[in-house]
Amino acid sequence: MRVISRIDEVHEFLDEVRAQKKTIGLVPTMGFLHKGHIALIERSIKENDITMVTIFVNPLQFAEGEDLSSYPRDLHNDKEQCDAAGVDLLFSPSHEEMYSQQVLTSIQIKDLTNNMEGESRPTHFSGVATVVAKLFNIVGLCNAYFGEKDWQQLQIITKMAHDLSFRVRVFGCPTVRHSDGLALSSRNAYLTPKERKSATVLSRSLQKASETVQSGERSTSVIMAQIIEEISTEPLVSLDYIEIVEGRSLKSINKIKEGSRILLAANVGEARLIDNVDPYVGIQ
Ligand code: PAF
């Protein structure tokens, strides 16, 4: 595995790859890799000749007071995991390499960023879109893989890639979970053992809501009330939002139908956790 920290070296490496008519799979991450990231990497390896992982904790997507400085990092372990998984190229640039000048350009995406994470973290998605656009430009023609756990992010990146005609096909991959249902997240590292146990209420409430939908309930207010009640049984978990939306446009709906998505965010101790489900499928 090649480890590269400079953008011009990435260009050089990928120019050669393209000269050999090989396809490129891209897995952008902020590091502290877990099995969710490895699932993205494995899918990329299966579908492409070359797989490139990026590790960069992007300051643009953290607001003041958020966990940028404490965000978990372990580059040594990340390198070992990428190597073992069969990654060809690991790009881990410094802050100076990515933002060598003051950044005056940013990507704004309308509508899809108005609610949920966009409302709770108003500058977040502009930061995500800007860095992902930068990575798409650095890499060029490729297939890019993102987790469905960040459902709203996935819709935003998909739309941005289309609107700006990036030569990138964006793929969403199913959320990877612990056996008790908790979605894998680098931020789970913040949880104490007690909080970790309490946090399982998130996926449990989504699963119970899915079962209610599958037995015929369609009213979003009934389903949201059920989830709120379930989560309120865990005093360590403080719900930020619960929304039921049309899965692609992310518009709120009154009646659940095929393509709807239930999304929530909660604070559990120091950790802000998000999760979502297709209620017709349930937690898998
Ligand atoms: O999902 C993440 O880890 C980040 O938001 C991403 C897409 C790598 C951009 O920094």
Tens digits of residue pLDDT in 184-218: 999 999 999 999 999 999 999 999 999 999 999 99
Task: State the average pLDDT for the chain.
Answer: 98
Are 6 and 147 found together in one domain?
A: yes
Are 35 and 66 found together in one domain?
A: yes
Catalytic machinery residues: 37
Q: Closest ligand 1 atom to the C-alpha of 56?
A: 10
- How many domains is the chain partitioned into structurally? 2
Can you tell me the distance from the alpha carbon of 69 to that of 198, in angstroms, rounded to the nearest whole number?
25
Question: For residue 70, what is the DSSP state?
Answer: T
pTM tops 0.85, yes or no: yes
Residue 178 lies inside a defined structural domain of this protein: no
Are 38 and 126 found together in one domain?
A: yes
Are 245 and 169 found together in one domain?
A: no
Are 90 and 212 found together in one domain?
A: no
CATH number (domain holding residue 144): 3.40.50.620
Q: Token pair of 88, please? A: 């060809």
Domain boundary among 173, 206, 235: 173
Can you tell me the distance from the alpha carbon of 14 to that of 9, in angstroms, rounded to the nearest whole number?
9
Are 36 and 141 found together in one domain?
A: yes
Give the model confidence (pLDDT) of 54-73 as tens digits.
999 999 999 999 999 999 99
Are 37 and 153 found together in one domain?
A: yes
- Ligand 1: centre distance to CA 128 (Å): 6
Domain region containing 198: 186-277
Q: pLDDT band for 18, please (50, 70, 90 cuts).
A: very high
For ligand 1, whether the C-beta of 128 sits within 6 Å is: yes
| For ligand 1, atom 3: residue with the closest CA | 29
Are 94 and 7 found together in one domain?
A: yes
Residue 97 lies inside a defined structural domain of this protein: yes
Give the model confidence (pLDDT) of 233-273 as tens digits.
999 999 999 999 999 999 999 999 999 999 999 999 999 99
For ligand 1, whether the C-beta of 38 sits within 6 Å is: no
Which residue among 29, 54, 188 is best mutated to probe the pocket of ligand 1, counting the most ligand atoms within 8 A of its Cβ? 29
Domain boundary among 173, 195, 214: 173
Can you tell me the distance from the alpha carbon of 125 to that of 109, in angstroms, rounded to the nearest whole number?
8
Q: Closest ligand 1 atom to the C-alpha of 29?
A: 8
Domain boundary among 143, 173, 203: 173
- Ligand 1: centre distance to CA 198 (Å): 26
For 282, residues 6+ apart whose C-beta sits below 8 A from its C-beta are 206, 207, 210, 211, 214
Mean pLDDT across 168-176: 98
Residue 94 lies inside a defined structural domain of this protein: yes
Are 24 and 146 found together in one domain?
A: yes
Confidence (pLDDT) at 268? 98
Residue 86 lies inside a defined structural domain of this protein: yes
Can you tell me the distance from the alpha carbon of 214 to that of 225, in angstroms, rounded to the nearest whole number?
16
For ligand 1, whether the C-beta of 127 sits within 6 Å is: no
Can you tell me the distance from the alpha carbon of 42 to that of 271, in angstroms, rounded to the nearest whole number?
27
Confidence (pLDDT) at 23? 98
Residue 201 lies inside a defined structural domain of this protein: yes
Residue 205 lies inside a defined structural domain of this protein: yes
- Ligand 1: centre distance to CA 246 (Å): 23
Are 86 and 151 found together in one domain?
A: yes
| For ligand 1, atom 9: residue with the closest CA | 128
CATH number (domain holding residue 191): 3.30.1300.10
Are 199 and 61 found together in one domain?
A: no
Q: pLDDT band for 105, please (50, 70, 90 cuts).
A: very high
Q: pLDDT band for 14, please (50, 70, 90 cuts).
A: very high
Q: Closest ligand 1 atom to the C-alpha of 128?
A: 9
Residue 157 lies inside a defined structural domain of this protein: yes
Confidence (pLDDT) at 172? 98
Which residue among 37, 138, 145, 153 is best mutated to probe the pocket of ligand 1, counting the most ligand atoms within 8 A of its Cβ? 153
Q: pLDDT band for 283, please (50, 70, 90 cuts).
A: very high
For ligand 1, whether the C-beta of 58 sits within 6 Å is: yes
For ligand 1, whether the C-beta of 160 sits within 6 Å is: no
Can you tell me the distance from the alpha carbon of 118 to that of 133, in angstroms, rounded to the nearest whole number?
18
Confidence (pLDDT) at 9? 98
Are 191 and 240 found together in one domain?
A: yes
Q: pLDDT band for 108, please (50, 70, 90 cuts).
A: very high
Give the model confidence (pLDDT) of 130-153 as tens digits.
999 999 999 999 999 999 999 999
Residue 282 lies inside a defined structural domain of this protein: no
Can you tell me the distance from the alpha carbon of 233 to that of 126, in angstroms, rounded to the nearest whole number?
35
Confidence (pLDDT) at 29? 98
Instruction: Choose among 185, 210, 216, 191: nearest CA to 260.
Output: 210
Confidence (pLDDT) at 227? 98
